[in-house]
Structures are given as structure tokens and as C-alpha cells.
Amino acid sequence: MKIFLTKRVAENILDRLNKIKDKQIGSEKIEISPDLGLSKIIININDFDDNKLKKIMKTNAVYYYDTETKEYYKIAIYNNRLYCQLNVFDKYPVLTINGFRMHRVLDDPLKYVNQIIKLLRIKQGNSILDTCMGLGYSAIEAAKQSNDITTCEKNDCVYEIAKVNPWSSGLFSNKNIKIIRQDVIDYISKTDRTFDIIIHDPPTIKMTPELYSREFYGMINKISNEGAKMFHYFGDINKEQNMRAYERAVKEMGWKVRFYPEVLGAIFVNE
């Protein structure tokens, strides 16, 4: 069995262990979540290593403890110059790549995704392209509104982190979500599919300038149906670089557009 460990869980277990040692309490059982808050179990805490728990308490990284092998594993992968790690901020699992957070973490990332889904007014039967899968939160929430979701992920380390993350399980269990293990630019340059909804929530322009380029927007136009809508993340457009990216997208897309500061992005409509 895997038990996912975060700073908060490690603190709770260590606190209980210390109280047992001080004979403040006699019970060796504790209720914790083994899957980052999705469920609860009661376990015996004597199997845990104090020193390992103290190490976990010093980081936002997520670990898991294998109850059979008694080993601890940090959920992080280095591949092709990318260091991908699963972190927890507050109580929400978030992907970081080379130290940069891939989700807006000022609040619940699912709340953020649902704000986007609401703005797009997705209908059952809409064909949806999620350009950058990441941990899959956008695809999972979109699949609650439609039965035709395609999501792209080119990075092996991101894909493997998603497979381990309990909050990403819907990506792999929902038959309405099709995962494309390919760069989205390669995919849309070759596909004969068209889409009603595009969710474009890429990393920053500094990390992925190609996903803010004239060529990319031209490809999006070609695969978009009449009346199609696209959410496009830009970040804070009070920053010059983000404003330039926004202005470029408005010019190249040629669609009706409105910026929504609460989600740091814009909705484009192909009218």
C-alpha cells in the first residue's frame, strides 16, 4: 500500500509519536489521508521513521511510503533537462517543473479550473482540446461537461507524475478523455479533427514561447469550428511581456476577445 506523505501529514504523525514516547497518549493508531486528502484510513504509526518524517516536514514535496517495503520515495523525476516534482501548497497537489509552479496556487487549483470551465459554457457533445495536460485537472473537469476530450502532453516526466498523483486518477479512468503523448503543435499540425472548445493553459511565455507564437495561433484557427471558444492563459497583463503576448494573440487570432483578470486569461470566440 502507498501512503502519500506531505509536510502536514508528517507533522501529525510525528506529533503523535512524540506524545506516545512521552506517555501522554497510549494509542498507536492515527487517522490520516493516504491519498492527499481524498479519503481517510486508520493506521499504526510505529512503522514510520522519525528521521524520514522530519525530512519531509522541511519541504513542500510529496513523498509516498510503501507499507510493504518500508521505503520512502520522493515523487520527482528528472528527464530531458526537466526536473518534475509533485508539491503540495496548502492542501493541493501542484506540479513544478525546474522549480516553477505549473498551476495558479493562490487558491484551490480545481476552483481555478472550474472558473475557466464556467466561462467557456461547455455543452455536452462539444469537442474539446486541452493543449497542455499537466496533472490533467482541466481535462478531468471538462469531462464532467462533455464526452469528447483530447489532451496533449509531450513530457514523459509530467505524464509519469500525473500517473502517480491521486488527484489525476480521472485522466486514466475516464473513457471520454483521450491522452495524446505528443507535443500539441505536432498534433494539431497533423490532425484532421476540429474542435469547439480549446483550453490553452500553457507554462509561461519564457518557458514555452512557441505556444504564444503566430504559427501556433494560425494552427489553432485551422482546427477551430465556427463559433469555437478558446481560453488562453497569459498571467498578469500588467507585466509588459505578458501584455505583449496578449496583444499578439488578439491580433493573430482575429477573434472576439475578453480578458478575465480573475483567471489571468482571456476567452476568444470565433464569430
Q: What is the pLDDT of residue 82?
A: 87
Q: How confident is the model at residue 153, as a pLDDT?
A: 97
Q: Which pLDDT score is estimated for 60?
A: 92
DSSP for 143-194 reads TTT-S-EEEE---HHHHHHHHH-GGGHHHHH-TTEEEE-S-HHHHHHH----
Task: Give the pLDDT of residue 104.
Answer: 64
Helix/strand/coil for 226: strand
Give 58's Cβ-side CA count (13 Å radius): 6
Q: Which helix (DSSP H) or strand (DSSP E) does residue 44 occupy? A: strand 41-44
pLDDT at residue 26, as a whole number = 60
pLDDT of residue 225: 97
- Taking 70 as the pLDDT cut, the residues of the chain under it are 22-27, 104-107
Domain 104-269 CATH class label: alpha beta
- The domains of the chain are located at 2-74, 104-269
Q: Against a cut of 0.85, is the pTM above it?
A: yes
Q: Which amino acid is at 239?
A: K
Q: What is the pLDDT of residue 45?
A: 84
Residue 109 pLDDT:
87
- What is the distance between the alpha carbons of residues 244 and 252, in angstroms, rounded to a whole number? 12
Contact 78, 99 (CB under 8 A): no
Cβ-based burial of 46 (10 A; exposed 0-12, middle 13-18, buried ≥19): exposed
Collapsing DSSP states into helix, strand and coil, what is residue 17? helix
Q: For the chain, what's the residue count?
A: 271
Residue 247: per-residue pLDDT: 96
Report d(CA 123, CA 180) in Å as an integer.
22
**What pLDDT, on the 0 to 100 scale, is given for residue 25?**
62
